[in-house]
Structure 1
């Protein structure tokens, strides 16, 4: 009888050891295959961004990382199943932990979601001059959380993406050719056609003002003390600020040389002599 019991115990021990050994081997196999598969998926998704110039590489690398960790989480749960561990509670725990982290990082997640949308829809790119979140500058870097601008006075402005997305964005570099609006006033006694000719000559001689499309030059307003022209020359986007800040000075000098008066506000004071 004792020999029978000992034989049963030995057989049960051997069977249990074989089962545990099989589970361990399967768990290791699942880990190896799962890790390899996660790496391949991550590389594949990240590689999509490198194949097309219009796709943002960093965004696809981020998606690749997300896919990798999701697959690894599933692999971890599959390994636990191999050892008979109840995974429903583990999944619930992971969900609760994810919710807690999400609530703690609301600001960061809003910046992240805005960064993803900015990289997908691409309202601007590195090198563009933009007005966004009340700031103006040249875009030097775009990442998943922030957009970095460089101002004309060489300051760096770091703007959270959540402050940009959903607000008005003005991209001054989107179109290759831009119009530059300006206003110039002359006195009522001056010859309008002569003044028009002076301004046109300045535009013709400017190296960055385009002939096609042709500039727009017309009388816009009859003010109290001046006749105001609206002038809109066109130029390449990279020459916008050169035209914007050089043409007014040249027009002023040309009008002075032509002896055309540029009016400025006058105040007439009339003094009444009291009764003596």
Structure 2
């Protein structure tokens, strides 16, 4: 395909080589660019003659040399035009010569564009009848031709500027070229939209296709992707050319951004930003008009479902609370609170999921996300989960309940509140201690007030010289006279230990758990008072110190 372009170029180059020598006057003071142009035209003619006898890769090399040589020629023409613009008198004798060179370039590009456009149309029409592999190759060649056409159009725009600098009115030619570029941009915009939708459709079909269908669909998808890439490249090139012509390309730049998502300097253009904003507002307004009634109805249904399940939550919590509070179940306070809380929250969660499904939200990713999040949170909150597990064990085995006096986790006090994570204990001096359940479950738990009846263990000592029967009588009288002491189980009053300085009695009456400390303090006080009345002593530790001195030492001391 490149060779066809080159042959057309060779024809034009040959024409220039034949005509340029007679069109320029020969003077000793002619500009250096004139001589360069003549030399380049001779070289182009020589390469043309060489191409006629070349074949294969050699012909490709000669063709590439011709293209490069013509580029050199254009650079020299550009320098000469610039000099003519800056100093018209210096280049005036050669004005017609320079003008002929530029007109040769204009004629060549017009013929080349017409030929290549016709070739692209022919190849695209034949594309459908080709095999799969040939389609890919032909598509690549078509893209190469289009790229060359874009390059020629850019050069033609430069040619028109050269003619303007040389005093030729090219406004009509420029307007024709601008209209041509605008037409191509509109066509490319429509093609890009169509091919983008086609690629998305093929991508969806490919995902749902069977193994037997994937082969042909993959090829179609590759062709579609290449066509989409080609459209993007062509549009970007034409946008660049249109910017040189001061054509408004904001909408096309916006389309490129929406298609690729690439942030470029074009987005800093106010017109592009306004176009994107305007398009988004239009899309939003259309979406609101089309979906607002349906969304409002779904929102109404969502609110109604949430309200209904909030009522059901309260009803369920009350019913469960009434059920677990039955004396026959003998549930702990923690277990009651757990069932009441979880039942209400469970009902509300079900209602929330139903409400979300009614507004069109797919619950599968949400539930999957909850599962993944649960694993992650589980690793992050190992200690908390350990406390939770310990709370469940406390809930199941019920070693204590709210209101019990316990010694657990290294602290002692009254249990004021329990949760699945921690236990709140209030000490007798009104301090609040929050103990993690894992620490409580992993240690010894002493429930002081679990039973309804407790034994008060007290020890009282009397002197060795005191009357044992009198002491026992005093103890019995005090215990029997106290109204809070239970008759069953029976009390225990026994001589327990012959201590170093006292004879110790154990006094163990049985009382209700809530009367424990009242009985303890009352009996202790009454024992002291009655012992004083009857003359019984309460011994306390004491030591006798005896000093022994020799007689001689005493006499010496007396003499002194």
> What TM-score results when the alignment is normalised by the length of structure 1?
0.73
C-alpha separation in 2, matches of 1:169 and 1:161 = 11
User: How do 1:75-86 residues align onto structure 2 when only pairs under 5 Å count?
Assistant: none
Offset at residue 101 of structure 1 (A): 0.5
2:461 corresponds to 1:189? no
Other structure's SS at 2:391 match? helix
Q: Which residue of the partner structure matches residue 338 of structure 2?
A: 59
User: How do 1:38-49 residues align onto structure 2 when only pairs under 5 Å count?
Assistant: 47-49=319-321
> Would the aligned equivalents of 2:313 and 2:344 in 1 still touch at CA under 8 Å?
no
> Would the aligned equivalents of 1:46 and 1:60 in 2 still touch at CA under 8 Å?
no
Q: Which residue of the partner structure matches residue 133 of structure 1?
A: 409
C-alpha separation in 1, matches of 2:367 and 2:422 = 32
Q: Which runs of 5+ in 1 are unaligned?
A: 1-23
C-alpha separation in 2, matches of 1:58 and 1:176 = 23
More off after superposition, 230-239 vs 266-275: 266-275
C-alpha separation in 2, matches of 1:248 and 1:160 = 38
2:213 corresponds to 1:213? no
Other structure's SS at 1:50 match? helix
> Would the aligned equivalents of 1:185 and 1:228 in 2 still touch at CA under 8 Å?
yes
> Would the aligned equivalents of 2:320 and 2:343 in 1 still touch at CA under 8 Å?
no
Other structure's SS at 1:219 match? strand
Q: Which residue of the partner structure matches residue 175 of structure 1?
A: 451
C-alpha separation in 2, matches of 1:268 and 1:130 = 44
Distance 1:113 1:134, change over 3 A: same
2:501 corresponds to 1:225? yes
Other structure's SS at 1:255 match? helix
> Would the aligned equivalents of 2:313 and 2:348 in 1 still touch at CA under 8 Å?
no
Offset at residue 197 of structure 1 (A): 0.4
Deviation readout 1:54-96 (Å, 9 max, x if unpaired) = 34332114443675688689979x99xx99x9x6x87765433
Other structure's SS at 1:183 match? strand
> Would the aligned equivalents of 1:50 and 1:57 in 2 still touch at CA under 8 Å?
no
Offset at residue 234 of structure 1 (A): 1.0
Distance 1:140 1:41, change over 3 A: closer
Deviation readout 1:93-121 (Å, 9 max, x if unpaired) = 54332111112112222222222332333
Offset at residue 255 of structure 1 (A): 1.3
> Would the aligned equivalents of 1:42 and 1:67 in 2 still touch at CA under 8 Å?
no
Q: Which runs of 5+ in 2 are unaligned?
A: 1-293, 554-560
Other structure's SS at 2:395 match? helix
More off after superposition, 43-52 vs 213-222: 43-52
Offset at residue 270 of structure 1 (A): 1.6
> Would the aligned equivalents of 1:131 and 1:170 in 2 still touch at CA under 8 Å?
yes
Q: Which of the two has greater helix per residue?
A: 2
C-alpha separation in 2, matches of 1:196 and 1:100 = 69
> Would the aligned equivalents of 1:209 and 1:234 in 2 still touch at CA under 8 Å?
yes
> Would the aligned equivalents of 1:111 and 1:160 in 2 still touch at CA under 8 Å?
yes
RCO greater where, 1 or 2, for CA within 8 Å and sep 6 or more? 1
2:478 corresponds to 1:202? yes
Deviation readout 1:220-263 (Å, 9 max, x if unpaired) = 11112221111101111111011122211211221121111222
Distance 1:185 1:267, change over 3 A: same
User: How do 1:1-276 residues align onto structure 2 when only pairs under 5 Å count?
Assistant: 47-53=319-325, 54-55=330-331, 56-64=335-343, 67=346, 94-274=370-550, 275-276=552-553
Number of aligned positions between the proteins:
247
Structure showing greater radius of gyration is 2
More off after superposition, 67-76 vs 119-128: 67-76
C-alpha separation in 1, matches of 2:471 and 2:509 = 16
Other structure's SS at 1:229 match? strand
C-alpha separation in 2, matches of 1:41 and 1:155 = 35
More off after superposition, 93-102 vs 63-72: 63-72
